[in-house]
Amino acid sequence: MILSDACEDYHGLFEIIWSLNNQFPDVAEDSKREVAQEALGNLVKKRLVSLYTTTWPGGTYVAVPEHRAQAAIAASSSWAPPPAAPAKYYCFAATPEGEQAYSAGNFKVT
């Protein structure tokens, strides 16, 4: 789900939780966030997905350096929807390698 979304466009981290809320409404939000953190963190480590900051409304995406990406993913505050505009938040998108791996079906989530 995450890599598929990442190949389509930039998505906020909070959108992963929203999707999981629809699929698993009875699971606690903390549990969903923990699973999402692990999955996104693995995709970033494998360089299939990159993390960015942006502002809503906006359209400018600033890459989060690799050495800071894991800390941002681990922070529960990074997963909150942006507050009232203008608001800075974290989002993700596929790297060229991620798009290629997804298209070819050559990725494994571990």
Residue 44 has pLDDT above 50, yes or no: yes
Residue 15 has pLDDT above 80, yes or no: yes
Could you give the percent of the chain with pLDDT greater than 90? 65
Task: For residues 93 and 16, give the distance between their C-alpha atoms in angstroms, rounded to a whole number.
Answer: 12
Q: Is 53 helix (H, G, I), strand (E, B) or coil?
A: strand
Contacts of 13 (CB under 8 A, 6+ apart): 36, 40, 73, 78, 79, 89, 90, 91, 92
Is pTM, for the whole model, over 0.85? Answer: yes
Residue 108 pLDDT level (bands cut at 50, 70, 90)? low
